[in-house]
Amino acid sequence: MIDPSILVGFVPWIVFAIATSLTDLKTASLIGLVLTLILFLPRAIKKTYTSMDLFGLIFFLLLTLASFTMNEQGLAYLKGWSGMLIFGSLSVFSWATILRGDPFTREYARRMIPREYWQTSLFLNSTKSIALGWATAFIAATAISLGGALMGRGGLLIYSLGIGCMIIAILWHNRLLAAAEAEGNRLKEADQKD
């Protein structure tokens, strides 16, 4: 089962995407920041926040600051590219964690898997594969957003297609988790027989 906090962590991003198509960028970025803070602060107090949580906080803080210092023309331009900004940022973040050798999905998996399994090839490979699924979904969503921005189209349709990519990543995530769990159970049974 997916750690629900990974899905909850995407709520500010999704709400920001919807708000951007319904209101101005200042309001949408402020909504994203407030939601991120609401989710981040309790985790920060407990010291259970993830790199994705921290990344979201920095993203929405910088975006909110930028939106309140830009002129109307800059805001309109940035709003037109906001889908690219959302999904492109998530893509860069996820690929960066994969390339540094510690995919962001491992932080969530460590909450559910006992420490003794963290260095097993099954844990390392499955968490990397799950992260690759998310990273690929973010790239696809970025490409959709780029196409929409270049055609002068944005709004709910483009964001919905991008969110559709994330739903595919969730399905991928669930499929790989089930396969890893089945393999883990098989390995435990084999160990008990020996």
Q: What is the DSSP string of the chain?
A: ---HHHHHTTHHHHHHHHHHHHS-HHHHHHHHHHHHHHHHHHHHHHT---HHHHHHHHHHHHHHHHHHHS-HHHHHHHHHTHHHHHHHHHHHHHHHHHHTT--THHHHHTTTS-GGGTTSHHHHHHHHHHHHHHHHHHHHHHHHHHHHHHTT--HHHHHHHHHHHHHHHHHHHHHHHHHHHHHHHHHHHHHHH-
d(CA 151, CA 71) in angstroms, rounded, equals 23
pLDDT at 81: 83
Tell me the pLDDT of the chain averaged across its residues: 89
d(CA 4, CA 113) in angstroms, rounded, equals 14
pLDDT at 107: 94
For residue 79, pLDDT over 90 is answered with no
pLDDT at 26: 94
Q: How far is CA 41 from CA 33, 73, 189, in A?
A: 12, 34, 41
User: pTM of the entire structure?
Assistant: 0.87
Summarised one tens digit per residue, pLDDT across range 1-16 is 677 778 888 899 989 9
Residue reference for tokens 């089962």: 1
Rg (the chain; Cα; Å): 18
pLDDT at 43: 94
pLDDT at 63: 96
- pLDDT band of residue 155 (cuts 50, 70, 90) is low
For residue 146, pLDDT over 80 is answered with yes
Summarised one tens digit per residue, pLDDT across range 174-185 is 888 888 888 888
The more confident residue out of 98 and 154 is: 98
pLDDT at 84: 86
